[in-house]
A and B are shown apart, each in its own frame.
Chain A
Amino acid sequence: KQEVTQIPAALSVPEGENLVLNCSFTDSAIYNLQWFRQDPGKGLTSLLLIQSSQREQTSGRLNASLDKSSGRSTLYIAASQPGDSATYLCAPRRNSGGSNYKLTFGKGTLLTVNP
């Protein structure tokens, strides 16, 4: 059974700082891994999808890396802004049987960027 751990559970940083969010997973037989952000009381917004054959994926100030063999992914946020404040979730995807390519979610990292 896939278990996903996100460290730290909460992070508070001053505006402008570069930061790294960590995600580890126990089953490395994954197809890809998706990073989401969730604003309070809102749904999930997809940030990056990184395929198992990729090492990195970038979108603007965000960079996600994936080391499938060691079961780790990191989300790097450059020059953080108060608008980045949200909960960040990682979700590796594996085939759990038949057509269920299952996303397993971590509990998330709550990021607060202070002006």
Chain B
Amino acid sequence: NAGVTQTPKFRILKIGQSMTLQCTQDMNHNYMYWYRQDPGMGLKLIYYSVGAGITDKGEVPNGYNVSRSTTEDFPLRLELAAPSQTSVYFCASSYNPVSYEQYFGPGTRLTVT
């Protein structure tokens, strides 16, 4: 199992550009999550999904969109990138959010200038 994979590892965007962060898991987990981690801060939940076709907002969803067309994939889209979106983005998945651990991908480091 590869676990949770994310691409790209690094990206620099100009203000106003758009991009999609990719996340794939091969553990057949229904639950998937996107977090952002700013320096010296805890992780904040952006969006989550409880299964294919079902997504919902987390704490900090503004400026982002997600889709979940398959169990494996949960891409995060940034429209009109802003400097405030400079952060490290982590995707995670879990089988059952109550009893089971969340597994994290390696992260995407995004800089918006």
Interface residues, chain A, CB within 8 Å of chain B? 4, 31-32, 34, 36, 41-46, 49, 51, 89, 91, 93, 98-108
Is B90 a contact partner of A100 (Cβ separation < 8 A)?
Answer: no
A31, A46, A104, A107: which contacts B102 (Cβ < 8 A)? A46
Looking at the assembled complex, report how far the CB atom of A86 sits from the nearest CB atom of chain B, in whole angstroms: 14
Interface residue tally of chain B, by bracket?
20 to 34
With a CB–CB cut-off of 8 A, which chain A residues contact B50?
A: 99
Q: Measured between alpha carbons, how far is A4 from B44 in the docked complex, in Å?
A: 12
With a CB–CB cut-off of 8 A, which chain A residues contact B103?
A: 46
The answer to whether residues A46 and B56 also contact, given A105-B42, A105-B43 and a CB cut-off of 8 A, is no
Q: Measured between alpha carbons, how far is A37 from B90 in the docked complex, in Å?
A: 14
Looking at the assembled complex, report how far the CB atom of A44 sits from the nearest CB atom of chain B, in whole angstroms: 4
- Ranked nearest first, the 7 interchain pairs of A and B with the lowest CB-CB distance are A105-B42, A101-B97, A44-B104, A43-B106, A105-B43, A43-B104, A46-B101
Tell me if B53 counts as interface (CB < 8 A to partner A): no
Is B98 a contact partner of A103 (Cβ separation < 8 A)?
Answer: no
With a CB–CB cut-off of 8 A, which chain A residues contact B92?
A: 44
Looking at the assembled complex, report how far the CB atom of B86 sits from the nearest CB atom of chain A, in whole angstroms: 15
The answer to whether residues A43 and B105 also contact, given A99-B56, A105-B42, A105-B43 and a CB cut-off of 8 A, is yes
Tell me if B45 counts as interface (CB < 8 A to partner A): yes
With a CB–CB cut-off of 8 A, which chain B residues contact A43?
A: 4, 90, 104-107
Is B104 a contact partner of A104 (Cβ separation < 8 A)?
Answer: no
